[in-house]
Structure 1
């Protein structure tokens, strides 16, 4: 007797149709505008970041319960954010991806609750939490409810600090609360010419102060990478951003109770170094490249350096020694003679706190 698969019932077919509609995201014209701006869609970003076929979505059918300003009559797929669990290089991670094609990725109460539930799961399971941020901030139609949602996210950012790695990717214009939460996370990656992060945008600044400033100067990726220090990793494209995040995770533990992944030793610990000998014998009154020294010490010359462009008189980053992940703090004589100032001290202190 041959068992043939039964046709889907009416309810099952209806559920699948609803899920397909949600996965389609916002209107086609919004998706076209997103691509024209050189940006991936929310679900495309998850495909690019995570291991193939590893993503399991949570809360796909969640929607806003707000009735104000006609929100109950609007189609808001997934309430503007895709949340779930996936894998990166075989390791479990919790990740959310905001959908700019759905009400500009704005955060309402249901949107916030999805992120909060994911953060709670990450804390309970002891897995890193990753946020792919592309949001205009609070959903103004939901008023105080949206602000309360941000408060819940900020609270969880603080609770997760020092317990699980928190990584944010800024992949579009993020203003207000959409910038506050990433600033509370451990590492922020931004994409040059695409990412923007500010408390208030240029229009608000112009209305309040009369000052005219372009978005890149006010909150662009290079400004935050070089001047404010809010950006740890500067990427050339979204694909480059995801590559940096995957590489960063290779040096981090799943949580504070575990050690980072130990790799098989691949570098001779007894090898001699002509470069280090040359630097040791050079004129002590002349500067030298500290990065070259760090790379020479590292296994296979690999040094991963967050905050490369900020407070350049000190270096912070990760390398491996005999296969074990190690944090590095080093004065950089080639910039300000490696002297410590306020920014360099804060950069080093924050990195040491994270390593601890």
Structure 2
């Protein structure tokens, strides 16, 4: 393969099963144009492509190499990447890309720009048809940053750079002050990256995600009747609940660093891949935020595109309150609502600790189209918390404590909601896994 290709090849080798990679079009070189008549010819034209296996699953891979022509995108470079998409599309296999690019190849001028556009167009065209996983392993700037944003799953190696504008070109900023191109910023602030870490950690995460992508239903290695023990102390965190419910307690959380009040990720239930979206209390608040709703909307859309059933885990009491939220939250709520309503996949809602007011309604309630809604006997469901309702209902001289007690029993209860048909079944915490699996099995 040669030393020039070792970095790009090492990334491929780290991801794929041993000795499974088959390289294609290794002899392709750039084509002469008006601006590169004297350019040096380099085998592979700065990108390695081919196919291989991840735990026996066929995948197609491209890996840019910054040591060859700077990993820049030119006409033939782009054609190699396009051929990866074409082959993957024919067999319905995932596309995996490692980005390490010096931008468009200036020597090829307009041809290079059109080449970049063709790659972005193809990625957009196949979105929702074949899974796309992109790992930013080096430099990814300018227009190329659209590609990881288009991907279904985006990863980033620590030390890599992802940006539209370099941090040092942003007015009043510098990379020392706020490195907007860093993996940490993209993971926690921008929400572009699903997972980040060292190359070894990232490829391990990629393999984990690939194992969750629906293919054939595999025989589960966990007992479908296993009791979900210890849920009582985990009701405020959808990630903890999902972990307890999942086969072998394996939950792959996505975008965990961004909008932490909303949880998204993948589990298997009796061998079937399920998308999980739910609430997490942060600083004691169970709220819907603009960023959280956008995160949920994108994830439900992803599940619907790939026919992944959705389990929502609801624990919400209010909307986040601040001036910024007033600007963004209505639109974000509408986006999340639209995705839940439009999704044609099976949808089950599990209400854990509480569900109050409109926030509860918008979290995949029965009225929004949930196929089944479950709750625990201890779950509180209602228009608002009993303590707040009592303050409104109590007149001068009325015993507010008595009103609160009566309201809690009559209007702030999962049992009352079930009596009105808004909850399909009250389940014990130990039996939650069993009933959720049975619920989804109705649709298969």
Q: If the length of structure 1 is used for normalisation, what is the TM-score?
A: 0.80
Secondary structure of 1:230 counterpart: coil
Structure 1 residue runs of 5 or longer lacking an equivalent are 1-22, 32-39, 254-259, 281-287
C-alpha distance after superposition, 1:226-265 (max 9, x if no partner): 0000111112x11111111111001103xxxxxx342322
Aligned residues: CA RMSD: 2.1
Structure 2 residue runs of 5 or longer lacking an equivalent are 305-444
Shift of 1:66: 2.7
Tell me, in whole angstroms, the C-alpha distance in 1 between the residues paired with 2:140 and 2:133: 15
Aligned to 2:213: 252
How many residues align? The count is: 304
Q: Structure 2 matches for 1:276-291, cutoff 5 A?
A: 276-277=231-232, 288-291=236-239
Q: Structure 2 matches for 1:6-17, cutoff 5 A?
A: none
Q: Which of 169-178 and 223-232 deviates more? A: 169-178
CA contact (8 A) 2:234 2:240 kept: no
Aligned to 2:289: 341
Aligned to 2:245: 297
Tell me, in whole angstroms, the C-alpha distance in 2 between the residues paired with 1:103 and 1:216: 30
CA contact (8 A) 1:311 1:344 kept: yes
CA contact (8 A) 1:86 1:92 kept: yes
CA contact (8 A) 2:261 2:288 kept: yes
Q: 1:219 aligns with which of 159, 167, 181?
A: 181
Residues 1:210 and 1:290: Cα distance change in structure 2 (over 3 Å)? closer
Secondary structure of 2:257 counterpart: coil
CA contact (8 A) 2:136 2:160 kept: yes
Shift of 1:69: 5.2
Q: Structure 2 matches for 1:230-269, cutoff 5 A?
A: 230-235=192-197, 237-253=198-214, 260-269=215-224
CA contact (8 A) 2:247 2:270 kept: yes
Shift of 1:271: 3.1
CA contact (8 A) 1:136 1:178 kept: no
Q: Structure 2 matches for 1:154-193, cutoff 5 A?
A: 154-192=120-158
CA contact (8 A) 1:122 1:129 kept: yes
CA contact (8 A) 2:180 2:186 kept: no
Residues 1:314 and 1:59: Cα distance change in structure 2 (over 3 Å)? same
Aligned to 1:198: 163
Q: If the length of structure 2 is used for normalisation, what is the TM-score?
A: 0.65
Aligned to 2:2: 24
The structure with the largest alpha-carbon Rg is 2
C-alpha distance after superposition, 1:147-206 (max 9, x if no partner): 1001111111111111000000000121113312111111110122x2110113245x16
C-alpha distance after superposition, 1:18-77 (max 9, x if no partner): xxxxx3253xxxx8xxxxxxxx70111111111122111121111111345556441322
CA contact (8 A) 1:138 1:177 kept: no
Q: Which has the higher contact order (CA 8 A, sep 6+)?
A: 1
Aligned to 1:314: 262
Residues 1:222 and 1:350: Cα distance change in structure 2 (over 3 Å)? same
Tell me, in whole angstroms, the C-alpha distance in 1 between the residues paired with 2:83 and 2:221: 41
1:98 correspondence with 2:64:
yes
Q: Which of 126-135 and 337-346 deviates more? A: 337-346
CA contact (8 A) 2:46 2:68 kept: yes
1:41 correspondence with 2:19:
no
